[in-house]
């Protein structure tokens, strides 16, 4: 009795806690929760119980899982999905009077209080399972390190708060419901949160099939999971084995198992299976698509109004996310890339496929494996996407930007055969010949843009200039239609830099000086394929939460281009496979259009193209630094290339992958061009009535400009381009 009285007199927090236990006994009225709570004026306080973090799974468009990730590896289960012996083991070792007492186990707490007083602090816990559940909820919901430390701080004030919450929990739930919640929130070690994840991680089986020895092991792990984590080494496994036997002894003392059952269980080995649980995009079948989907949730307001809300939404998990991924298209892309570029090559090929009219991303692939191991040449970011979707800085898009100037010209009323004479080089007539969208003069008369292979010029039309990818023609055309109008056209089609910075609006904009990613370029070309409807790229169509509630997400599309202008551009670019820079590679056996893209100094190579059913963009470049590691004199895919053009590798990947992705899909034709509107040529823009001069060799080589005004480029000309059909020498004006 003396020790009890000393505890009552011990000051502040210690005295308050012990008063809850000791005073009713001193008065001789018996130890009850009611009398204790009356002494302290303890009232139930509602505990906020946010959803527990659980694993999230990603499904393809057919509903087949291809990835899962989690903030905490957990699968919540109902109590009837947990073996009876597991329930018995956890109650025996953690709170054997669980079904007999209320929120506060006065016997256990009193015993712990005396022990703590004699030890000079909180030495022994007397917490009931309900109190432990409260502590775990507070810790799990803590958003800062300070809040986490407060949730487990060895203080009497924290214990009192625990009691208040525990009183409310006991009123809110039945004992079975509390036990179920406790088993689902507890951490068992080895990265396993909750009994189901622990059973699978430790023993490769569901919680419903746990044996006596296995149940005792997991029940023992709860006390100090970091100390008994079997992944921490031999010593930790030995400690876990000892804890298991302590649980078995306790179960025997309480009469829950016989001495023989205890002995047989103790004779068994630990039995830890170390069953790996896939988690994270690096373990996904399609890691780049997985990464894109994760970042889409983190950055898209459709999934939460604030960045913090979206982060919590993703971390709490328990989601089933249905995506737009098409396995057939994805595998076709991966197969085509692997055919031309090896995983060990320094240059990287990446591709994205998008459906015109919906923006659904069907495939996303790269030549390197996803991961952090640089020795294995792995890539830790998504080169197919922009920086907002886990990507990098991208590569200059080269001549894939020329169609934006073509579209601007058609939109301003120019016809298919409108054109003008060009030389082998181009210089801006003045600084004011080009103005950015802020009105700044950005013309560079001192900088000369030249054609590929120093080819000559001649009269070029919208059609022949595009098919030959003539740099000097497009510089003159951009001067005619206005740089700002071309920039606006590109933006209308969703063009933005991969790194998130503002577009560079220099005179060489049309030559593709801006670094891009395949998803953005594919979406822009899909806009032309859908007759002018730009659809924001989308990777997620439905999210079902842990309670089964589904939210669907629809395409976000907007008409940004005159349908007939898109038709006219498709009419011109569909000839790229027979009369343009893809002649040597050829088409895909159905209506298609596209544009090659080779940058200045061969720093990157692209091909972007589309059908009415599917659009795709392929980039190729060296992520170590495109200018420092260009595509000149390189071996890629086991083949040596003196120069890598847009058609050399990217065009071939595009062709093979599109044939595979569209296999079994009925071909759709482009809408014929309105020849009344776009046929022929305008007065003053027609070819002069004189002998046909030889076309030049198409256009590359904008001349690198270190201040950002140069770059871009053209493409390898088709066979025979610029040669006299009668065998004569080229005529260069």
Q: What is the dihedral of CA 353, 359, 362, 367, to 10 degrees?
A: 40
Which range among 273-277, 465-469, 669-673, 684-688 shows the weakest confidence by mean pLDDT?
A: 273-277
User: What backbone torsions phi and psi does residue 719 show, to the nearest 5 degrees?
Assistant: -55, 130
Tokens 């009269």, residue? 459
Which range among 57-71, 106-120, 469-483 shows the weakest confidence by mean pLDDT?
A: 106-120
Assess whether pLDDT exceeds 80 at residue 512.
yes
Q: Using an 8 Å Cβ cutoff, are 288 and 364 in contact?
A: yes
- Binning pLDDT at 50, 70 and 90, where does residue 11 land? very low
pLDDT computed for residue 53 by the predictor:
84
- Binning pLDDT at 50, 70 and 90, where does residue 410 land? very high
Interatomic CA distance for residues 81 and 207, integer angstroms: 7
- Binning pLDDT at 50, 70 and 90, where does residue 29 land? very low
pLDDT computed for residue 187 by the predictor:
93
Query: In the predicted model, what is the mean pLDDT of residues 705-717?
Result: 48
* CATH 3.40.710.10 domain extents, the chain: 396-536+563-678
Higher pLDDT: 566 or 687? It is 566
Assess whether pLDDT exceeds 50 at residue 707.
no
Strand-pairing partners, residue 249, are none
Q: Which of 137, 51, 92, 611 is nearest to 354 (CA)?
A: 611
Assess whether pLDDT exceeds 90 at residue 597.
yes
pLDDT computed for residue 44 by the predictor:
81
Averaged confidence pLDDT in the chain: 85
Which range among 221-230, 500-509, 688-697 shows the weakest confidence by mean pLDDT?
A: 688-697
Query: In the predicted model, what is the mean pLDDT of residues 39-61?
Result: 83
pLDDT computed for residue 150 by the predictor:
78
Residue 61 is classified by DSSP as: T
Give the pLDDT confidence of 625-640 residue by residue, as tens digits: 878 888 999 999 999 9
pLDDT computed for residue 149 by the predictor:
79
- Binning pLDDT at 50, 70 and 90, where does residue 544 land? very high
Give the pLDDT confidence of 350-404 residue by residue, as tens digits: 999 999 999 999 999 999 998 878 888 888 889 899 999 988 889 999 999 999 9
pLDDT computed for residue 514 by the predictor:
96
Q: How far is C-alpha 615 from the geometric centre of its chain's CA atoms? A: 21
Tokens 């070309």, residue? 525
* CATH 1.10.3810.10 domain extents, the chain: 74-266
Interatomic CA distance for residues 111 and 108, integer angstroms: 5
Q: Which CATH number fits domain 74-266: 3.40.50.1820, 2.40.50.100, 1.10.3810.10, 1.10.1740.10?
A: 1.10.3810.10
- Binning pLDDT at 50, 70 and 90, where does residue 66 land? very high
- Binning pLDDT at 50, 70 and 90, where does residue 34 land? low
Higher pLDDT: 405 or 693? It is 405
Which range among 5-14, 218-227, 477-486, 695-704 shows the weakest confidence by mean pLDDT?
A: 5-14
pLDDT computed for residue 667 by the predictor:
96
Assess whether pLDDT exceeds 80 at residue 102.
no
Which range among 94-98, 120-124, 484-488, 712-716 shows the weakest confidence by mean pLDDT?
A: 120-124
pLDDT computed for residue 546 by the predictor:
87
pLDDT computed for residue 730 by the predictor:
28
> In this structure, what token pair is assigned to residue 248?
């078995």
> In this structure, what token pair is assigned to residue 578?
């027979």
pLDDT computed for residue 281 by the predictor:
84
- Binning pLDDT at 50, 70 and 90, where does residue 669 land? very high
- Binning pLDDT at 50, 70 and 90, where does residue 12 land? very low
Query: In the predicted model, what is the mean pLDDT of residues 560-565?
Result: 98
Pairing between β-strand 515-516 and β-strand 550-552 as defined by DSSP bridges: unpaired
Query: In the predicted model, what is the mean pLDDT of residues 662-673?
Result: 96
Full DSSP string of 239-296: HHHHHHHHHHHHHHHTTSS-HHHHHHHHTS-----------SGGGSSSHHHHHHHHHH
- Give the count of beta carbons closer than 10 Å to the beta carbon of residue 551: 11
Asked: is 396-536+563-678 a CATH 2.60.40.10 domain? The reply is no
Q: How far is C-alpha 153 from the geometric centre of its chain's CA atoms? A: 37
Residue % of the chain over a pLDDT of 70: 84
3-class SS at 44?
coil
Which range among 402-411, 578-587, 722-731 shows the weakest confidence by mean pLDDT?
A: 722-731
Give the pLDDT confidence of 160-196 residue by residue, as tens digits: 888 888 899 999 999 999 999 999 999 999 989 999 9
Measure Cα distances from 460 to 171, 276, 591, 652 in Å. 84, 63, 25, 27
């Amino acid at each position: 009795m003396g020790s009890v009285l000393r505890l009552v007199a011990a000051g502040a927090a210690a005295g308050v806690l012990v008063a809850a236990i000791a005073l009713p006994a001193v008065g001789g009225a018996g130890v009850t929760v009611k009398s204790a709570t009356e002494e302290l004026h303890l009232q139930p306080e509602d505990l906020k119980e946010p959803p527990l973090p659980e694993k999230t799974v990603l499904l393809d468009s057919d509903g087949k899982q291809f990835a899962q990730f989690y903030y905490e590896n957990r699968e919540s289960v109902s109590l009837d999905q947990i073996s009876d012996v597991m329930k018995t083991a956890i109650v025996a070792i953690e709170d054997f009077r669980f079904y007999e007492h209320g929120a506060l186990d006065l016997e256990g707490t009193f015993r712990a209080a005396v022990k703590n007083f004699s030890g000079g602090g909180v030495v022994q816990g007397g917490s009931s399972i309900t109190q432990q559940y409260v502590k775990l909820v507070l810790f799990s919901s803590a958003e800062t390190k300070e809040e986490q430390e407060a949730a487990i701080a060895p203080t009497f004030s924290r214990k009192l708060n625990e009691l208040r919450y525990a009183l409310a929990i006991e009123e809110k739930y039945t004992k079975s419901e509390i036990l179920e919640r406790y088993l689902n929130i507890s951490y068992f070690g080895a990265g396993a949160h909750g009994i189901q994840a622990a059973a699978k991680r430790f023993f490769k089986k569901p919680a419903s099939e746990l044996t006596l020895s296995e149940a005792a092991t997991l029940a023992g792990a709860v006390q100090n999971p970091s100390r008994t984590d079997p992944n921490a080494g031999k010593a930790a496994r030995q400690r876990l084995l000892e804890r298991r036997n302590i649980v078995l002894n306790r179960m025997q003392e309480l009469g829950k198992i016989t001495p023989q059952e205890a002995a047989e269980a103790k004779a068994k080995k630990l039995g830890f299976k170390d069953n790996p649980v896939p988690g994270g995009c690096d373990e996904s079948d399609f890691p780049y698509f997985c990464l894109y989907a994760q970042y889409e949730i983190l950055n898209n307001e459709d999934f939460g109004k604030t960045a913090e809300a979206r982060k919590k939404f993703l971390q709490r998990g328990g989601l089933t996310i249905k995506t737009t991924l098409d396995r057939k298209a994805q595998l076709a892309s991966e197969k085509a890339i692997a055919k031309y570029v090896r995983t060990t090559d320094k240059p990287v090929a990446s591709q994205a496929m998008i459906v015109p009219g919906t923006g659904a991303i069907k495939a996303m692939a790269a030549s390197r494996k996803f991961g952090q191991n640089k020795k294995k040449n792995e890539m830790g970011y998504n080169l197919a996407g922009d920086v907002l979707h886990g990507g990098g800085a991208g590569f200059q898009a080269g001549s894939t930007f020329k169609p934006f100037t073509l579209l601007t010209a058609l939109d301003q009323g120019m016809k298919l055969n409108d054109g003008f004479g060009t030389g082998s080089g181009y210089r801006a007539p003045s600084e004011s010949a080009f103005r950015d969208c802020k009105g700044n003069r950005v013309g560079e008369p001192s900088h000369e843009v030249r054609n590929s292979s120093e080819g000559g010029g001649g009269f070029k039309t919208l059609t022949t200039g595009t098919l030959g990818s003539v740099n000097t023609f497009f510089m003159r055309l951009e001067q005619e239609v206005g740089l700002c109008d071309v920039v606006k056209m590109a933006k209308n089609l969703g063009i933005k830099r991969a790194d998130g910075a503002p577009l560079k609006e220099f005179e060489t904009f049309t030559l593709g000086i801006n670094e891009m990613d395949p998803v953005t370029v594919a979406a822009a070309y899909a806009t032309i394929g859908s007759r002018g409807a730009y659809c924001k790229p989308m990777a997620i169509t439905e999210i079902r939460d842990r309670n089964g509630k589904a939210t669907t997400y629809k395409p976000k599309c907007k008409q940004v281009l005159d349908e007939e202008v898109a038709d006219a551009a498709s009419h011109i670019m569909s000839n790229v496979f027979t009369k343009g820079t893809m002649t040597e590679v050829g088409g895909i056996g159905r209506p298609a259009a596209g544009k090659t893209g080779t940058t200045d100094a061969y720093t990157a190579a692209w091909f972007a193209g589309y059908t009415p059913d599917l659009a795709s963009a392929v980039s190729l470049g060296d992520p170590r630094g495109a200018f420092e590691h260009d595509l000149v004199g390189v071996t890629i895919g086991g083949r040596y290339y003196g120069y890598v053009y847009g058609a050399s590798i990217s065009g071939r990947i595009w062709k093979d992958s599109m044939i595979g992705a569209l296999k079994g899909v009925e071909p759709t034709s482009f809408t014929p061009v309105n020849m009344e509107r776009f046929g022929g040529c305008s007065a003053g823009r027609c070819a002069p009535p004189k002998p046909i001069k030889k076309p030049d060799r198409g256009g590359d080589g904008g001349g690198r400009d270190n201040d950002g005004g140069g770059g871009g480029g053209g493409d390898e000309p088709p066979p025979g381009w610029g040669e006299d059909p009668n065998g004569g020498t080229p005529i260069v004006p």
